Amino acid sequence: EQGFILPVEIAAVLLLAAIVGAIVIAREKDK
C-alpha cells in the first residue's frame, strides 16, 4: 500500500514542479 502511495506522491510533486517551472519561465519571457 505504501509502495503505491509513494510513487503517486512523487508523481504529484514532479507534476507540480513542472507546472511552477513553466509559469516562472513564462513570466521571465514576458519581462
Predicted TM-score (pTM) of this structure: 0.63
pLDDT per residue over 9-19, tens digit each? 999 999 999 99
d(CA 10, CA 13): 5
Give the CB-side neighbour count of residue 9, counting CA atoms within 13 A: 6
Q: Does position 5 have pLDDT exceeding 80, yes or no?
A: no
Torsion region of 5: left, alpha or beta (phi above 0 gives left; psi -120 to 50 gives alpha): alpha
pLDDT score of 2 = 65
Cell of 30: 514576458
pLDDT score of 26 = 96
pLDDT score of 17 = 98
